[in-house]
Amino acid sequence: MAVHLRKYLRLNKLPHIWCPGCGHGIILNSLIRAIDEVGLDQEKTVVVSGIGCSSRATGYLNFNTLHTTHGRAMAFATGVKLGNPDLNVIVLSGDGDSAAIGGNHLIHAARRNIDITTVVFNNNIYGMTSGQYSPLTPKGAYGTTAPYGNVDQAFDLCDLMISSGASYVGRGATYHAKQLTTLITSALDHKGFSFVEGISQCPTYYGRRNNLKTAVDMLQWQKDVTIKKKAAEKLSPEEQQEKIMIGELHKVADRPEYVEEYEKVIEKVSKKEGTTG
Amino acid sequence: MSEKKPQLIQGNEACVKAAIAAGIKFFAGYPITPSSEIAEGLAEELPKVSGRFIQMEDEIASMGAIIGGSLAGAKSMTATSGPGFSLKQENLGFAAMAEVPCVVVNVQRGGPSTGAPTLPSQGDMMQAKWGTHGDHPAIALCPASVRETFDLTVRAINLSEKYRTPVVLLIDEVIGHMRENVVLPTQDELEIVERKKPAKDLDNYLPYKADDDMIPPMANYGEGYLFHVTGLSHDETGFPDLKNPDVIGGLTERLVNKVEDNKDDIVEYSTENLDDAEVVIVAYGSAARTAATAMDQAREKGIKTGLITLKTIWPFPEEILTDLLKDVKTVVVPEMNLGQIKGEIKNCINLSQNIVGVNRVDGELITPAEILEAIVKEES
Ligand SMILES: Cc1ncc(C[n+]2csc(CCOP(=O)(O)OP(=O)(O)O)c2C)c(N)n1
Ligand code: SF4
């Protein structure tokens, strides 16, 4: 790691507790590179997480950090942003954390288009509680609570975010770490609700149970199954089904941002108050 | 603030006025009867003072949001009722653990579950103390009039900032919706407490190192201190340390003791006619008003009756009540629940003293006649 990036880490909290081969460290690496690229003011940046392996990331980051309750990071983050709109607010969350228990908060943050950047560490499984299936576990895959194969349909979180109103949506993967950094950089630069799904690997609980025994197997799987958006568009709908699209999936510049809209209310009210004395 | 003249307002409106007067700058909530006027009022008032209001997707989110708002430096509150109060409990525990000042107003309705939405109740007294899991501090206040709703809202906000802990304001539906003519204090008559700040030493700030008063100074996010806040058991640095029993136990005990050991400062109550009393009614909220009438009627009948009105419910004023009740023959406790606080008062008397509850859980108010009847029965 470039020496100047060390200031973003709490070096005394390292080494981290993630398993050997876990993808979460790669996403963390992409995140701090992106923060550096954008030049966020460290003192004015708050990083909020929920509960899960992913959410331990806040402990390693040398910012104002907030490790909340399971699934609720987005709600806390919304409060931080409204408590002081000058702060840059970043949410880090797992697939279970953000899509199961926190699903409601996630879609409403997107709907409001509040200026928060969210990075979901998607390892398709509940890591911290040791391998139960999540709303992003593919149908048929195995987990400790899906011993005969998962019956649930999986979410496509990026689709969900686009239809909920997020104004920036991207998907990357730890195999494509550079692209992931670019996506998070664009998300941080974006005004409004920005969302990046980072496909991560959990060899410990997902891989071992699903015939991808090592981290390398899992990265190889990522390489095989991901496809850039442009290339995917050339495929038939059936062929697209087989693939996971990565890259910048959605970006709109003209959706009103929540905090700015509220500031207009404050302005309107203070003018009115001013004239009536 | 407006000049001092009487105004006809509801308890819930008094709560809104007090919140603005005490410096609330952020409210997050989800509508629920009979608390909605508080959200509606603050939606109107907050932008006038450059504060912010948000209607969240549910009560869990609202509670999380006010914790975030408070950490970012805005005095923050939410308001709810029964089912919503249940939903807030997990994050209420977070606020206690992470020592984040914030206020939760619970305008109580009949329960359990969705219960009796529009009817009065005092059924959440125990939930205000034990609602979240684990041992934790609890401060809960209970107004008996519209004016007291104003005063105790200000006090709840002040106590939360002073002790860095969530404070619950337990209004009952009667007080929340009742209109009374009140004269409110002017802004300069109010004492407003601000959170204790750390010395400007950015590199050596220990966010959870308590001073002698058991309360750590609090930096806001964005003021230059880079610190970690978690709901996990943590040491003075704010980082989890689950290997050291002294750290885990020490933290839990400090959190509880910073409230329990400061009862002198936190507990408020009033007394009437205690000097010669053989019967004492101990009451709170709207039941205390009924009790005052019953006390007068008992006195007319020649029964020496007194009244203690509790304004602070938690921490419970056990020592004070033990002292005040020591020479009393009978204690009467009217409550719109099946005896939640009576159980606490029982610990304050001895076996030779009688204690009787006057209880209703049918959504109807307790009448003076019912309390009087209980007194007469005990005395005959
Ligand atoms: C209210 C609540 N329910 C359940 C849990 C237990 N729990 C902790 S982490 C977790 C799942 C985490 O999975 P995910 O978000 O996918 O993150 P990962 O650990 O895989 O990175 C669960 C269910 C909890 N802490 N709180
Ligand atoms: S359990 Fe899985 S997600 Fe958690 S640290 Fe280990 S590899 Fe990573």
pLDDT at B263: 98
Structure tokens at A25: 């460290």
Q: Residue B209 contacts by C-beta under 8 Å, 6 or more apart in sequence?
A: B216, B236
Closest ligand to Cα A94:
1
User: Among A32-36, A126-130, A145-149, B116-120, where is mean pLDDT lowest?
Assistant: B116-120
Its sign, for the CA torsion B116, B118, B121, B127, is: positive
Measure CB to CB from residue B50 to each of A66, A86, A266 and give the nearest one: A266
Name beta bridge partners: B306.
Answer: B280
Per the CB < 8 Å rule, is B64 touching A68? yes
- Alpha-carbon gap: B257 to the closest alpha carbon of chain A (Å): 24
The band of A275, judged by pLDDT with boundaries at 50, 70 and 90, is low
CB B91 within 8 A of CB B68: no
Going by C-alpha positions, the residue among B355, B351, B349, B354 that lies closest to residue B326 is B349
Rounded to whole angstroms, the maximal C-alpha distance in chain B is 71
R_g over Cα of chain B:
21
Give the per-residue pLDDT at A164: 98
The string of DSSP letters for A30-92 reads: HHHHHHHHHT--GGGEEEEE-SSTGGGHHHHBSSEEEE-STT-HHHHHHHHHHH-TTSEEEEE
pTM, 2 dp? 0.97
Element of type H or E holding B27: strand B26-29
Instruction: Kindly report, residue by residue over A148-198, the tens digit of the pLDDT.
Output: 999 999 999 999 999 999 999 999 999 999 999 999 999 999 999 999 999
A16: contact with B, CB 8 A cutoff: no
Closest residue to atom 9 of ligand 1, CA basis: A52
Atom of ligand 2 nearest to the CA of A131: 1
Query: What pLDDT does residue B2 have?
Result: 52
Give strand ranges (E) for chain A.
45-49, 64-67, 88-94, 116-122, 125-126, 132-133, 168-173, 194-199, 226-228, 244-251
Query: Residue B120 half-sphere exposure, CB side, CA atoms within 13 Å?
Result: 20
Average pLDDT over residues A37-51: 98
Residue nearest to atom 12 of ligand 1 (CA): A52
Q: What is the mean pLDDT of residues B200-214?
A: 93
Interatomic CA distance for residues A238 and B198, integer angstroms: 61
Q: What residues does ligand 1 touch, defined as CB less than 6 Å away?
A: A 51-54, 70, 94-97, 121, 123, 125-129, 134
Residue range B345-362, pLDDT digits in tens? 999 999 999 999 999 999
Phi then psi for residue B379, to 5 deg, are -90, -15
Q: By CA distance, what is A77's nearest residue in B?
A: B68
From the CA of A192, how many Å to the nearest CA of chain B? 17
Count Cβ–Cβ pairs < 8 Å, chain A vs chain B.
144
Q: Which tens digit of pLDDT belongs to each residue from A77-113?
A: 999 999 999 999 999 999 999 999 999 999 999 999 9
Distance CA A128, CA A146 (A): 16
Give me ligand 2 centre to Cα A224, in Å: 22
Nearest-atom index, ligand 1, CA of A100: 15
pLDDT(A276) > 80: no
Maximum alpha-carbon separation in chain A: 72
Least confident of A126-140, B197-211, B308-322: B197-211
B interface with A, Cβ–Cβ < 8 A, is 25-26, 28, 47-48, 50, 52, 54, 56-58, 60-74, 76, 90-91, 94, 220-232, 239-240
| Residue B200: burial class (beta carbons within 10 Å; 0-12, 13-18, 19+) | exposed
DSSP H helices, B222-324, are: 245-260, 263-266, 286-300, 318-324
Q: For B257-270, what is the mean pLDDT? A: 98
The Cα–Cα gap between B344 and B336 comes to 15
Q: What are phi and psi of B218, to 5 degrees?
A: -120, 120
Confidence of residue B3 (pLDDT cuts 50, 70, 90): low
User: Residue A183 in contact with residue A106, Cβ under 8 Å?
Assistant: no
With a CB-CB cutoff of 8 Å, which residues 87-126 of chain A face chain B?
87, 104-105, 108
User: Which pLDDT belongs to residue B339?
Assistant: 98
Residue B278's closest CA among B262, B301, B261?
B301
Pick from A8, A11, A67, A101 the residue to mutate for testing the B interface (most B CBs within 10 Å). A67
Residue B202 has what pLDDT? 85
pLDDT at residue B102 in the model = 98
DSSP structure class, residue A203 = I
Q: Is the pLDDT of residue B116 over 50?
A: yes
pLDDT of residue A274: 72
Mean residue pLDDT of chain B comes to 97
Q: Which tokens in the block code for residue B154? A: 């200000």
Residue A224 has pLDDT above 70, yes or no: yes
Measuring from atom 20 of ligand 1, which residue has the nearest CA? Answer: A127
Q: Tell me the torsion sign for CA atoms A77, A83, A84, A85.
A: positive
Hey, is the C-beta of A11 within 8 angstroms of any chain B C-beta? no
Q: Find the B161 Cα to ligand 2 centroid distance in Å.
A: 39
Query: How many C-beta neighbours within 10 Å does residue B241 have?
Result: 15
Packed helices A73-83 and A103-112: angle between N→C axes, nearest 10 degrees: 30
Question: Cα dist. A10→A27, A28, B228 in Å?
Answer: 16, 12, 11
- Calpha distance A156→B111 (Å, rounded): 39
Under 8 Å between Cβ of B116 and B82: no
Residues flanking ligand 2, CB < 6 Å: A 18-19, 22, 24, 53, 123, 127, 202-205
**Residue numbers in B near A67 (CB within 8 A):** 228-232
Q: Which two tokens stand for residue A139?
A: 């149908």
pLDDT for residue B96 is more than 70: yes
Q: Encode pLDDT of A202-218 as tens digits.
A: 999 999 999 999 999 99
For residues B363 and B121, the answer to whether their CB atoms sit within 8 Å is yes
Q: Is the ipTM of this complex over 0.85?
A: yes
What whole-number distance in Å separates Cα of residue B158 and Cα of residue A237? 61
For the segment B120-134, what is each residue's pLDDT rounded down to a tens digit? 999 999 999 999 999
- Provide the total of helices (H) and of strands (E) in chain B, helices listed first: 13, 16
pLDDT band at A277 (very low <50, low <70, confident <90, very high): very low
More confident residue, B76 or B3: B76
